[in-house]
Amino acid sequence: MRDSRDPEHDRVQPNYFTCTLGQAALVNAANSTEFSTINELIDAYAEKFPLRPAVGFPVPPQVSETPEPWSYMVLTFCDLRNYTHFVANELEKFLPQFCRADNASNDTLPTVALFCPSSADFLLTWLALIRLGFSVLLIAPQCQPRAIASLCASCKVSCLFYDKIYEDAAKETLDFVVDDALRYLIQEIPFNGNVIKYYKHRSNNAQFRFQSQVSRYDIAYIHHTSGTSSDLPKPIPQTHHAAVGVLPSFSDKSSGATFSTTPLYHGGVADVFRSWSSAEMIWLFPGNELPITARNVLLSLRSAAKAVADGKGSKVAYFSSVPYVLQMLSNDDAGMEMLMAMDTVGVGGAALPSSVGNQLVQKKVRLISRFGSAECGFLLSSFRDFRNDDEWQYLRAGHGSELLQFEPQGNSLFELIIKKGWPHMAKTNRSDGSFATSDLFEKHHAIENAWRYHSRADSQLTLITGKKFDPAPIEADIASSALLDDVLVFGNGREYPGALLFLPKESASLSSTQLVDCIWPEIERINAGAQPHTRIAKGALVVLSPGHSAIPKSSKGTVLRAQAERQFEVNIERAYSHSGSSARAGTMGNIEDQDVQTALYTKVANIMGDKPSLSVDTDLFPIGVDSIACVQIRSYIQRVSLCLDWIHSKAKYLQDLLPGIEESLPLNIVYDCGTIDRLASYIIDRRHGLVKDNTHDDEQLMFQLVDEYGDFSCASTELGHHSRRDDNITRNGEVVILTGATGALGAHLLDAFRQMQNVSRIICLVRAKTPEKALERVNKNLEAHAKKRIDSSVTRISCIPTDLADTALGLSKPEYKELAETATLIVHAAWAVNFNARLSSFVHDHISGLHNLITLALAAQRPEPPRFIFCSSTASVSNSRPSTGIIPETLSHTPSSASPLGYSRSKWVAEKICHRAHENTSLRGRISVLRIGQLCGDTDKGIWNMSEAWPLMLSSVAVTGGLPAIDQPLDWLPLDTAAKAIVNISSSFSTGLSQSTEVPVFHIVNKHQHPRWSDLLAWLKKFGVVFEAFPPDEWVRRLEQGDEHTESSRRGSHPARKLLPLWKSLYAAPQHPEPRETPHFDTLCAEKISHTMRTVNPIDDEHFRRIWNWIETCPCSN
């Protein structure tokens, strides 16, 4: 420990505790090591440093309540060799001839297994078996007998050595040996649980009788995975070279001992060799005798300090731990003081909750994250300049970083790939000799080559929608409540996630409802900062009273998820049935028609967390009822329809009226109804056999919205038309306001505008809480589309947090005034592409947002307001069928010309609002509508947007085995081409446009009708993709049910399923009419003023190859 802050410690120079294998390669290149095997290391330092302490064990008193102080046991490097020789001699006596190392007949060492708690017995028995020439399988005590038998079979174990306390489990493993050829001997370790005492009574300083020659490339020991996601653990062999040959050797200088709380059968082994390779001492927590508590850790460190005072040990400078130990210590005053006194505190093995790590760093604890794997060793560390850098979660690669590749996986996540040439690779899983770790990371927005661990790709939960997330951080956050003992988040293959809440005895007096109410505010806080699909609804919380069996976990504290989901299957099912834990879940049984609305309100409030803004008339979409919440509400209605019991038979209930529940409720029923009132009316109507067509109501609403939001009479502008430009505004260049910069098209628009010399400033209006978050969102989107990030020091581009639904756009008065006075061009490209939402759901944020942006343009106190571009969609008129077969670049006055989707109708309304602004305000001739057609991946890299329909359809081949055989032109327009066309048009306004009686309309589409979808299918065949072309309805069926050839773990989990309602309506609707020819869009007006539009090319196979290559790299395609 350090007594005071020493500036020398702040230098960012690696030491043995922080040095990655990449950095170690550089260190060892300058200092040749004296060993290449574990045996050679012990022998070399026993000769060179015979009296230097190698390992220390705190020894608690025999009776824990006694006031007797703890003692200690220290072994020098010479002791280590002598004990190892003695134990090897003793063990050899118990090995039958058939499993002795000298009897091996092949090139690989024979394997034995060690099943023992982390202790001195473990350490010395393990090293002795290695000395005898064995490969040693290290078995974690948490392993079940079936798992142990599986590991022994995989490793061809000849003998399993076990500690007395594991005798029953060891014997039970033999019941799971299915092949007699794989049967192994089981042998108790013969030291009565105390090898040191046994040595002192039996040793006569006999020389080691057996010498076995091992090489650096022989397997020294074998770790195993925890079986977290795959149920059965898998072996991970480690060579002698991997164990000690790749580690840094700083033996010429001493920097202090390490104290490790990590068990030897896991990361403790790595801690041991890391210390020994630099001839340093390591202290090991006595986990075989005591539980790891803050008090016991502190007592162990006092024991180590006593050894130092007695001149028999090295001072502890480094503290190595797993997250839950640090969490305990951070909540203990003495524990916090101890951590503050350490030179460095390292955490690894799992993710430390951010709140805990931040607290430690604020207290000036020199905390680092250490990231490695059994396959590739120590890879990354957050070791840094502690004086100037608090980013403890962000790992830095240092030397060797060129062999660590971070491969994009979508959603701003990157998978770590270890390239061929890394100092240690126990296995590879790619044809080029690299190893894909399945570990996902996030990139730091400012620090170069700094990465924060996010999750394991193979431990994520996958909802039925295809959305994935890591449950561990959510579990950790919820479990931090003092009212809970533990938490298990679930949701694999389900519509939405839920959580099992395990109560400690102290909370036993609380009812389930009381407990949920107590912790709900904290879960709401967690939900507020989480992605929508990860949010946990109140009705999906299941409370388990004290006495339930614990969640099965690995020795690192990682949830064994597959095992846990089986163990708690019945409890998990409660979250998706009518018997959920919340008292307010409600049922529909015995509910009269007049009470349906109240029951629905209760359920929605339960899911949304009793939002103050919720009423029966509230539009559900703007207040956060997303697709996940919609599924929950729909599932609730369907579920209770199964259990309705109308005692008095006063009304027909849903099940009687609509047999076959899946067909009884449309998938979009919640979106279609939009409010609780309309949803209740729908249920009541269906009970009584009434079917209502809402088309007329929607068309009436479209006209009403145009009247309401197309009224700019209160805007701060002088009505009338102006011909004089204000040169003072434009002489310094264009000032562009851009919305939608976090979208696919927006990324290309931003990139195109910043390349224009005449643009002096770009202002991105972004939905975010702070400027930093706004910049982060925009930069993540730019990166996703392979565009250069915005440097935060560049003032030419600014990202401003905005709320378009607010009349002042969420801006202060000075900010609003500055934008109004300086903007010369507003490009509005922000609109939710949600094909499930109804028209009313677009009112709050989008239709009102358009009105507010136009009002901003009209607030300019100058002769000419800024030019205004509204990015609409061809969907606003795609239902029209002109006699010429060509849809003109003119405004539509007929609501039915929009397709039935709420998205399409909202765009029709928006175009009419723009027309009102053109017709009645000073924006006449300065506002235009750009109808954008189907966009696709850019011409350079083919990057698209995996949330869109066509990429989702194409990627679904992975789970359906095919694609629909449809007759469809590939009238796709590359994203970068569309952006260039928009920029062309925005720069080409002429005074002639003001003479038009209607708002100018331009079509940004690819007018080429060839190639067609059939050509695309042929290209895929040429690329070597194996698939079938199915009739469209058959493809929909396969997507919905999961194809028979798809492995069960992936069925029904593809994100393409979220568009099933759309595809069912297009390709699988009962008595579906013959498809009509895709309408053609006139582009003469656009071509007249845009060079880009005049030169649009058809999609060809090379462009599509780039798109396909991108699709194949997306996670949902694999």
CA gap 682, 278 in Å, rounded? 74
End-to-end CA distance of the chain, in Å?
49
pLDDT at residue 1062 in the model: 78
Q: Which fold has domain 461-574?
A: GMP Synthetase; Chain A, domain 3 (3.30.300)
DSSP character at residue 716: S
DSSP character at residue 14: -
CATH node for 7-32+247-400:
3.40.50.12780
pLDDT at residue 584 in the model: 35
Query: What is the pairing mode between strands 935-936 and 1028-1030?
Result: unpaired
Q: How much of the chain exceeds pLDDT 90, in percent?
A: 43
Closest CA to 691 of 657, 644, 656, 649: 657
Pick the residue with more confidence: 997 or 897?
897
- State the average pLDDT over residues 1050-1073: 69
pLDDT digits (tens, 9 = 90+) for 11-47: 467 889 999 998 888 887 767 667 889 999 999 999 9
CA atoms lying within 13 Å on the CB side of residue 1090: 26
- For helices 848-858 and 813-822, angle between their N-to-C axes, nearest 10 degrees: 70
Query: What is the pairing mode between strands 282-284 and 316-321?
Result: unpaired
pLDDT digits (tens, 9 = 90+) for 422-477: 998 888 888 889 999 888 898 888 888 899 988 777 677 877 655 677 888 889 88
- State the average pLDDT over residues 68-93: 89
Burial of residue 175 (number of CB atoms within 10 Å: 0-12, 13-18, 19+):
exposed
Please state, in angstroms and as integers, the Cα–Cα distance from residue 262 to each residue in 286, 318, 427, 900, following that order. 10, 13, 24, 61
Collapsing DSSP to helix, strand or coil, 998 comes out as coil
- State the average pLDDT over residues 170-198: 83
Max Cα–Cα distance, the chain, nearest Å = 110
> Per-residue pLDDT for 723 more than 80?
no
- For helices 333-341 and 294-309, angle between their N-to-C axes, nearest 10 degrees: 40
Residue 642 tokens read as 């199964």
CA gap 1113, 415 in Å, rounded? 11
What is 593-692's CATH superfamily?
Answer: ACP-like (1.10.1200.10)
Q: Which fold has domain 80-242?
A: Rossmann fold (3.40.50)
The pTM (predicted TM-score) of the whole model is 0.55
- Identify the weakest region by mean pLDDT among 689-698, 732-741, 856-865: 689-698
> Per-residue pLDDT for 879 more than 50?
yes
> Per-residue pLDDT for 990 more than 80?
no
Average pLDDT, the chain: 83
Pick the residue with more confidence: 947 or 299?
299
Closest CA to 347 of 327, 367, 366, 377: 367
**Chain-centre distance for alpha carbon 573:** 25
pLDDT at residue 374 in the model: 78
- Identify the weakest region by mean pLDDT among 509-518, 631-640, 776-785: 631-640
CA atoms lying within 13 Å on the CB side of residue 89: 16
Other C-beta atoms lying within 10 Å of the C-beta of residue 45: 23
Please state, in angstroms and as integers, the Cα–Cα distance from residue 448 to each residue in 347, 395, 401, 545, 1058, following that order. 22, 11, 12, 48, 37
Domain range annotation of the chain: 7-32+247-400, 80-242, 461-574, 593-692, 734-951+968-1004, 1013-1117
Angle at 868 between CA 856 and CA 919, to 5 degrees: 90
pLDDT at residue 66 in the model: 53
Q: Which fold has domain 734-951+968-1004?
A: Rossmann fold (3.40.50)
pLDDT digits (tens, 9 = 90+) for 567-596: 999 899 888 764 344 333 334 444 677 778
**Which residue reads 């000799």 in tokens?**
433
pLDDT at residue 102 in the model: 53
- The H or E element spanning position 1030 is strand 1028-1030
Pick the residue with more confidence: 824 or 678?
824
pLDDT at residue 611 in the model: 63
Would you mind telling me the total number of residues written for the chain in this entry? 1118
> Per-residue pLDDT for 151 more than 60?
yes
> Per-residue pLDDT for 493 more than 80?
no
Closest CA to 975 of 946, 1014, 1012, 934: 934
pLDDT digits (tens, 9 = 90+) for 754-796: 999 999 999 999 998 889 989 999 999 999 899 999 987 778 9
Q: How much of the chain exceeds pLDDT 70, in percent?
A: 83
In this chain, the answer to whether the domains covering 7-32+247-400 and 734-951+968-1004 adopt an identical fold is yes
Pick the residue with more confidence: 992 or 661?
992
pLDDT digits (tens, 9 = 90+) for 949-987: 899 999 999 888 999 999 889 999 999 999 999 999 998
Helix and strand numbers (H, E) in the chain are: 39, 37
> Per-residue pLDDT for 420 more than 80?
yes
Give yes or no for a cis peptide into 951 (omega within 30° of 0).
no
Q: pLDDT band for 725, please (50, 70, 90 cuts).
A: very low
Residue 660: partners with Cβ closer than 8 Å, 6 or more residues away? none
Which residue type sits at 312?
K
Q: pLDDT band for 211, please (50, 70, 90 cuts).
A: low
- Identify the weakest region by mean pLDDT among 123-137, 644-658, 761-775: 644-658
Q: pLDDT band for 107, please (50, 70, 90 cuts).
A: low
CA gap 357, 352 in Å, rounded? 7
Query: What is the pairing mode between strands 797-801 and 825-828?
Result: unpaired
